[in-house]
Structure 1
Amino acid sequence: MRMSRIFLLAAVAAAAGGLVYFIMNGKAVSEEPVSGQKPIDEAYDLIRERAVHRVGPDELVEGALRGMADVLGDPYSTYLTEEEAAEHEESLSDERVGIGAEITESRGRFIIVAPVRNSPAEKAGILPYDEIVRVDGERVEGRTMKELLRLIRGKEGTDVGLTLFRPDEGRHVEVSVKRAAIPQKTVESRLIERDGHTIGYVGVSMFGEKTAEEWEAHTKKLIEGGADAFIIDVRGNPGGYLKSVGQVAGSLLRPGTVFAYMEDADGVKEPLETEAPGDEEYAGKMRKIKTVLLQDKGSASASEVLSGALKDNGRTFVVGTVSFGKGTVQETMPLSNGGEMKLSTRKWLTPSGSWIHGKGIAPDLESEQGPLYGIPSMPVDGRYRPGEYGEDVGYAQRVLAALGYDVPRADGYYDEMTKKAVEKFRDDLDLEPNRAMDREFFRALRGKIAEHQADEGNDEQLQLAIGYMKHALKTGN
């Protein structure tokens, strides 16, 4: 039987209807009681005998389990079917089987954002902005993202056929992709040279199974490269395993330092203390290195544990915005039907005893990003003229305004001022003179977003963190 797992992850659980809160074992109609509660047994038999919509006993049990979790009123507690439990565990694992492509949903269409480098998708010739139309001959129109991913994923080494619409060429293409195990990297790093200082940048996207190992490998490499300070970036990090964040905190704090408290339903607090990494030379260097931590409203749960641990222990300076504010710990426990019950079983508190649930952790220095840096590069397409209305027009209006063009509205109505901004944008980028938002226009718009976001100088929060670190290194504070 699988052991329960403790993790902290910000994800809103889907509420599903059930009967009422109870435990059932899924017996046939009237064969024997399915629970120890008479009203539940009666409802179960009535549904099985008389409901016009036929539902199997397993589905009834699973619906009831979802209802039992739902009645708690906690978005982080839910019932997971066997398949959902496997998918959830895979999302935090160090690899998953698939084709290696980032996919987004836009206006009911599934668009390839980008294939992962050296992935099966890249090798098969899949390109950014390709639209997935069919998977193994099955149309994906009307399906959810979860349903699409289930169609694409499969056993390692097997093939999946994709029908793609390539908008830049105006045609459909057929590709066959061999599924493979795709490593899930959660840590990235690089060296930043500024005014004679070498600062190590470490980005942590989530706290998965192997995050602590990745963290140690990256930080060792940065130190070997001459880094005399670190910028730790947990912006957009939704959390993950508590063990992983504890190991990362343990590399920066002295052994035996409290990095968080766990509090149970009775209010009993348990301190969580750091353990030193096995490499003593590495541990000694890590405890001395200066750090700045970057966070935003997408930094949640386990990433907030790290922020609170380092901030309360005077080990870092936090730059960015107030974090998400998730102060509960979930534990998954296996059930006899192969599913799992994911429950919030404890609160977690910062070393100073603060419960940040619903409040978040405030930065030491607040900084908002520029408007264009936070706008996603959406795979919009189509053709719009003055006087027309559309969601894609509203998106273009927001991007144009962020680029500095005079567009006072963003409601999707293509008015006279929007027309002038489009004409000026087309002229500035040497596009064909035109008043329309067309394929060429949207392609150029995406290019400007990508160009802006690829320029590190436009990341205002990062630049502020670098400036603070330069000052700290110069003054020795």
Structure 2
Amino acid sequence: MLIFVLIFATAGITTFALAFGDEKAVKVGVNQRTEFNKLYDTYDQLNKNYYKDIDKEKLINGAINGMLDSLDDPYSDYMTKAEASKFHESISSSFQGIGAEIQEKDGTIVVVSPIKGSPAEKVGIKPNDKILAVDGKNIRGMSANEAVLLIRGKKGTKVTLTIQRAGSHDTTQMTITRDEIPLNTVYADMLKDGIAKIQITSFSENTYNELLTALNDMDSKGMKSLIIDLRQNPGGLLDQAIKISNLFIPEGKKILQVEDKNGKREVVTAEDGKKIKVPVAVIIDKGSASASEILAAAVSESAGIPLVGEKSFGKGTVQTASDFKDGSNMKFTTAKWLTPNANWIHQKGIEPNYKVNMPKYAELPLINPDSKYKVSSLSNEVKAAEEMLKVLKYNPGKVDGYFDEDTKRAVINFQKDAKLKANGILQGNTTIQLMNKIREKIIKNDTQVNKAIELLKK
């Protein structure tokens, strides 16, 4: 009997303990053993001789946290009662925050992906962005759970993140207004020529049912072929990934394998039931992780469905989650999962059959709307704005990071078209609208979707 949970490629996000069979996930129990004598002695000496009163609960929490930290595994973690409450929050229909999945990596908090339609996505936060500070507080060395407690908050309140884009030494501050983050996970659109595109943004309790509803809707609109978009999908619940994989994989074919520390493998195979009959292509990127990688690998290796896009994140381990009686929680890695062909993609990712990069302007850095740029300003954010203006056909002159008269004219022309105050200053709504226009252009010129369409038309 194997009891396990597959979590997001983040710490501190929704997770469930799952069991194959009739057994239930167990609670954590502690048996006294001689190897703990050193720990007990340390506790007793501190409690008796430390120069001031100690917080006993904090001391115990620190000891447990230290054990898990010593594993050097970003997916094994201890959560206090407050952290565990946040941990379980996302199993509800919504939560309040900025909407970004994060993980701790080498002492730094890194974005796995923003949630579709969230405040984080709207301001331009991207996978692999590093969060260095929250409201000016340095968070290096924090666990993802600790960072989540700082970043989340009530709808309408603001939080300022110091962001460093992957591959850049520059940082920028982004002030984000928290909002209600609905956990709708499936979004469907009918494209031209009967090609449906369904985006799965994560795997939560209702994702399979949401997908069935979307498929029925697309069928009613004349679906002839299908694109499954797993980009920036950080993962989620294992049972949902298995159910969805089953829609595409012939009965008896492998979906995944789970291997414990002794090398014993459990194979999960596709069952009979509803199957998708139309041609399918799947899109992945560097934000596709965990359960989304299970789906991508399964349909690729067991159903021959082509993968389009970029190499995926690479999260190939399995976790168990257990609760303590006081409401705190511990999760730790118990096994690794393998693809149908027994490939372990951990820290490697899945290579698509058709590698397609997004346009270069899709990787442009963030511009802080709170910053004010005008003639004579010089910065990398000005350079990013100039590149955006150039892509949108507002000739900013030389793209060099220096805000000159050509840049001012380009900003004024953009402001006029956007029906904003035409003062030639880059700030506030002008910055937000500029980034929104780039986002719209990225969606309109989605090279990865276009490649998937090309394959489905053959």
Report if TM-score (shorter chain) is over 0.5. yes
The 1-side partners of 2:115 and 2:324 are apart by 38
- Which of 300, 304, 312 does residue 323 from structure 1 map onto? 312
Once the two structures are TM-superposed, the CA of residue 326 in structure 1 deviates from its matched residue by: 1.0
User: CA distance change for structure 1 residues 346 and 392 in 2, over 3 Å: closer, same or farther?
Assistant: same
The secondary structure found in structure 2 opposite 1:203 is strand
The aligned residue for residue 340 of structure 2 is: 351
> Cα–Cα, structure 1 residues 390 and 97, in superposed 2: closer, same or farther, change >3 Å?
same
1:48 matched to 2:39 = no
Q: In structure 2, do the counterparts of structure 1 residues 260 and 407 end up closer, same or farther at CA, with 3 Å as the change threshold?
A: farther
The Cα shift of 1:356 comes to: 0.8
TM-score (norm 2): 0.73
Question: What are the ranges of 5 or more consecutive residues in structure 2 without an aligned counterpart?
Answer: 14-27, 102-113, 124-133, 140-146, 160-177
Report what 2:154 is aligned to.
152
The superposition leaves residues 297-353 of structure 1 with CA deviations (integer Å, 9 ceiling, x where unpaired) of 110111110011011013311100111111111111222332222111111111011
CA change 1:208–1:441 in 2 (3 A) is closer
The count of corresponding residues between Structure 1 and Structure 2 is: 389
Gaps of 5+ in 1: 15-22, 26-32, 105-112, 122-127, 130-139, 154-160, 165-176, 278-282, 472-477
Structure 1 residues 361 and 255: CA distance shift in structure 2, 3 A? same
Return the offset for 1:86.
2.9
Work out which of the residue numbers 227, 232, 249 in structure 2 matches 1:253: 249
Aligned partner (choices 218, 225, 230) of residue 221 of structure 2: 225
1:423 aligns with 2:408: yes
1:426-452 deviations in Å (ceiling 9; x for gaps): 254365776653446425523432442
Structure 1 residues 376 and 45, CA gap change in structure 2 (3 angstroms):
same
Correspondence list, 1:69-468, <5 A: 69-91=68-90, 93-96=91-94, 98=96, 146-147=148-149, 151-152=153-154, 183-193=182-192, 197-277=193-273, 283-284=274-275, 286=276, 288-375=277-364, 380-390=369-379, 392-393=381-382, 395-397=384-386, 399-400=388-389, 403=392, 407-409=398-400, 414-415=401-402, 418-419=403-404, 421-426=406-411, 428-429=413-414, 431=416, 436-439=425-428, 441-455=430-444, 458-468=445-455
8 Å Cα contact 1:94/1:210 also seen in 2: no
Greater mean deviation of Cα atoms: 47-56 or 337-346: 47-56
1:201 Cα deviation (Å)?
0.7
Query: TM-score if structure 1 supplies the norm length?
Result: 0.70
For residue 83 of structure 2, what is the amino acid of its counterpart? E
Shift of 1:183: 4.8
Is the alpha carbon distance of 1:308 and 1:141 closer, same or farther for their aligned partners in structure 2, counting shifts above 3 Å? closer
Relative to 1, partners in 2 of residues 1:373 and 1:66: Cα closer, same or farther, differing over 3 Å?
same
Q: SS of 1:207's equivalent?
A: coil
Q: Is the 8 A contact 1:4 1:334 kept in 2?
A: no
- Residue 470 in 1 paired to residue 454 in 2? no
1:80 counterpart letter in structure 2:
M
Distance 1:301 1:162, change over 3 A: closer
Q: Give, as a single letter, the amino acid of the residue that structure 2 aligns with 1:261.
A: Q
Deviations 1:12-67 (A, max 9, x none): 579xxxxxxxx998xxxxxxx99852321222123333445653111111111111
CA distance 1:90–1:439, change in 2 (3 Å):
closer
| 1:361-386 per-position Cα deviation (integer Å, ceiling 9, x unaligned) | 11111100012334477551332345
Closer, same or farther: CA 355–450 of 1 in aligned 2, 3 Å: closer
Deviations 1:192-228 (A, max 9, x none): 11xxx30111100001111111111111221222101
Aligned amino acid, residue 467 of structure 1: E
Q: Is the 8 A contact 1:401 1:407 kept in 2?
A: no
Provide the rounded CA distance (Å) in 2 between the counterparts of 1:353 and 1:378.
43
Structure 1 pair 103/342, CA: closer, same or farther in 2 (3 Å)? closer
Give the letter aligned to residue 10 of structure 1.
A
Contact 2:61 2:80 in 1 (8 A): yes
Cα offset, 1:8, TM superposition = 3.2
SS at match of 1:37: helix
Distance 1:6 1:163 in 2: 33
Residues 371/467 of structure 1: CA separation in 2 closer, same or farther (3 Å cut): same
CA contact (8 A) 1:205 1:237 kept: yes
1-structure distance, mates of 2:433, 2:443: 15
- Structure 1 contact 251–276 (Cα < 8 Å) conserved: no
For residues 223-273 of structure 1, give each alpha carbon's deviation from its aligned partner in whole angstroms, at most 9, with x where no partner exists: 222101110000000011111100000111122321000000011111011
Q: Determine helix, strand or coil for the equivalent of 1:383.
A: coil
Q: Are 1:94 and 1:209, in contact at CA under 8 Å, matched by a contact in 2?
A: no
Structure 1 pair 436/150, CA: closer, same or farther in 2 (3 Å)?
closer
Residues 1:114 and 1:189: Cα distance change in structure 2 (over 3 Å): closer
Equivalent residue, structure 2, for 1:174: none
RMSD, aligned CA: 4.0
The equivalent residue for 2:169 is: none
Equivalents in 1 of 2:266, 2:322: separation in Å? Answer: 21
Return the alpha-carbon distance in structure 1 between the equivalents of residues 221 and 84 of structure 2. 41
Highest Rg: 1 or 2?
1
Q: What residue identity is the alignment partner of 1:236?
A: Q
Question: Residue 37 in 1 paired to residue 36 in 2?
Answer: yes
Q: Secondary structure at the match of 1:461?
A: helix
Query: CA, structure 1 residues 115+205, in 2 after alignment: closer, same or farther (shift >3 Å)?
Result: closer
Instruction: Specify the SS of the correspondent of 2:247.
Output: helix
Q: Measure the CA separation in 1 of the matches of 2:250 and 2:432.
A: 51
